[in-house]
Amino acid sequence: MSIPGVGALRSVLESIAEPILKSISGTPDGSAVRARPGRPTYVDYGALMTPPAPFRSLNTTLWGFWASADSHRVGALCDKVFNQPTGGAVQCKPLSEYVMLSWGSIARVVPETAPYDRFGGVEEPQVAIWVPVALRDRLGVDWRFAMFIPYMWLENPMSLATGRELFGYPKSGGWPQFPPDDGPQEWKLDVFGLDYEPDALAARHPLLEVVQRDGPVEAAKADLSSLADIARHAADQLFDDPRVVGDIEVGASMVVDLFEDRLPNVFLKQFRDVRDGLGAALQQVVEADYKIGRLEASPLLREHDLTVHHLDSHPVIDELGLKDQRLGPAYRVEMDFDVGDGRVLWDASGP
């Protein structure tokens, strides 16, 4: 027996429900988006904070400044973050005493996984410290080139949560400041943190400042169009010996990556255990690549000074040996890049 009007009502409801189901699932029939076989499906609920990889980053402007650090402290940090937790299954060591400080402004970051690729994107101004390292894991016998990012600061909460949860970026809260086109050329970073005292409260504090000086640098004007161009130019300025990397395998790996405009990054991804705050519920070493698309770069032809402020909760002085100094070669880079799906090199829970 049919009830008059029910069929018409069902048609109306289905026409309303179909686009809603498509928008949250990405599939024509409204079925759930599934993870790869053998893995639980991520449960999306509440506010959107962590869209999935891969991501495309468009219209990025980045200023990079090479700085001297303490290679012994950086080596100890690599040992603490990678070698010790993995029992040597993943080994990491710095390639030199130099690290790069970057102030970057990504105009638009968008996920490439359906249906999130139709949701929009975010703007991501950020500051990071990059350490060129040699990396080896149980999957290979040779050392290879990678970048270790021990610090990254940004104000955008969605990028902060996604970076930490998905890849293991050590992202924390900060306020990057960029120079105006026609004003003093100063790059600054304030961070949310504190000096450790029983009654202290976290607040906004200055941490890093880079100021352009009037003195010119020796480098000549150059148009650089690839990662390999930038690396070659920086090496010529930083090192007397062109054979920067003593290990043949690392050098070969670096050449391949840079000439393919690929920048591998390595992270320690971890979450505290609710049963024991000093333990980790999940701990992995993760590797993910930046694949560069468009790139245009040029050296900055003025000298730059770095000022580093002490703050206990952001120990760049203690962990890296970063200090006030006249900086090395610096660059302005315009580029687009993709950050792809990552690889798990080691998992504390086993294979």
Question: Which pLDDT score is estimated for 215?
Answer: 81
Question: Which pLDDT score is estimated for 17?
Answer: 43
What is the average pLDDT across 160-186?
96
Burial, 234: exposed, middle or buried (Cβ in 10 Å; 0-12, 13-18, 19+)?
buried
Residues 6+ apart with CB under 8 A from 80: none
CA–CA–CA angle 86, 90, 92 (5° rounding):
115
Of 17-21, 111-115, 217-221, 320-324, the one with minimum mean pLDDT is: 17-21
The H or E element spanning position 51 is: none
What is the average pLDDT across 284-289?
97
Nearest to 322 by CA among 4, 74, 78: 74
CA gap 338, 327 in Å, rounded: 29
pLDDT tens-digit series, residues 80-89: 999 999 999 9
Please identify, in words, the CATH class of the domain defined by 54-347: mainly beta
DSSP class per residue in 8-25: HHHHHHHHHHHHHHHHHH
- The domain spans of the chain are 54-347
Cis omega (within 30 of 0) for bond into 52? no
CA gap 9, 244 in Å, rounded: 73
Q: Is residue 348 pLDDT above 70, yes or no? A: yes
Pairing of strands 90-94, 186-193: unpaired
Mean pLDDT of the chain: 89
The dihedrals phi and psi of 8, each to the nearest 5 degrees, come to -65, -40
Instruction: For helices 248-259 and 227-238, give the axis angle rounded to 10 degrees.
Output: 130
